[in-house]
């Protein structure tokens, strides 16, 4: 199993979800980060402007890419590991849509990518809400949040292993 923990920053208006940036990390610490050159910053609300857009690096940073380049690089990153791909995110639904839309409609997703992202927030509830590490100082940077998701996973998985080892039913 190849687990990837990721986060997307996006602009959404109740009808569309427009990718701003995506960060991902695997369990070995390999990282991926990209910012879309194709989002419309004028559509961003005040919260996204302050907490996401104002924190992005300058447009000369190599992280800025076309949606096509993000799609290809993200696919290469998450299919580089051994075994089937597992995607994990905190409140995963919107993140999954933002990623899936890089390919267009859901049926256009490559077979190597799962049709859903596993939700860390739900898993946290399932294992009894163990104390999680605090949010990073650079929260809402997609890569910082992806790293934080990995740290959350490590706490959640340790709690799960203790629970399974103690014989507590699921």
What's the pLDDT at 168? Answer: 59
What's the pLDDT at 143? Answer: 98
| Number of domains forming the structure of the chain | 1
Residue 140 falls within a domain, yes or no?
yes
Rounded average pLDDT per 10-residue block, the chain, 170 residues: 96 93 97 98 96 96 98 97 95 96 93 96 96 96 98 96 72
Q: Which of 25, 23, 36, 31 has its CA nearest to residue 141?
A: 23
Q: Tell me which DSSP letter residue 83 carries.
A: S
Can you give the pTM of this predicted structure? 0.94
- Does the annotation place 54 within a ligand binding site? no
Question: Other C-beta atoms within 10 Å of 102: how many?
Answer: 19
SS3 category, 101: coil
Residue 41 falls within a domain, yes or no?
yes
Residue 130 CA to residue 120 CA, distance in Å, equals 12
* Residue-number span of the structural domain to which 78 is assigned: 2-165
Residue 152 falls within a domain, yes or no?
yes
CATH code for the domain of 143: 3.30.420.10
Structure tokens at 24: 């991902």
Residue 170 falls within a domain, yes or no?
no
């Amino acid at each position: 199993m190849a687990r990837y923990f990721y986060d997307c920053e996006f602009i959404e208006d109740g009808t569309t979800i427009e990718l701003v940036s995506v960060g991902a990390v695997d369990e070995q610490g390999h990282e991926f980060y990209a910012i879309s050159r194709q989002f419309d910053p004028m559509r961003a609300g005040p919260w996204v402007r302050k907490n996401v857009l104002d924190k992005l690096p300058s447009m000369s940073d190599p992280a800025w890419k076309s949606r096509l380049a993000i799609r290809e690089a993200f696919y290469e990153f998450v299919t580089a590991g051994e075994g089937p791909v597992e995607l994990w995110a905190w409140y995963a639904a919107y993140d999954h849509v933002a990623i899936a839309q890089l390919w267009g409609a859901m049926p256009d997703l490559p077979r190597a990518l799962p049709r859903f992202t596993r939700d860390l927030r739900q898993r946290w509830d399932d294992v009894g809400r163990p104390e999680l590490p605090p949010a990073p100082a650079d929260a809402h940077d997609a890569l910082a949040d992806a790293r934080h998701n990995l740290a959350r996973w490590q706490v959640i998985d340790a709690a799960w292993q203790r629970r399974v080892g103690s014989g507590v039913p699921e």
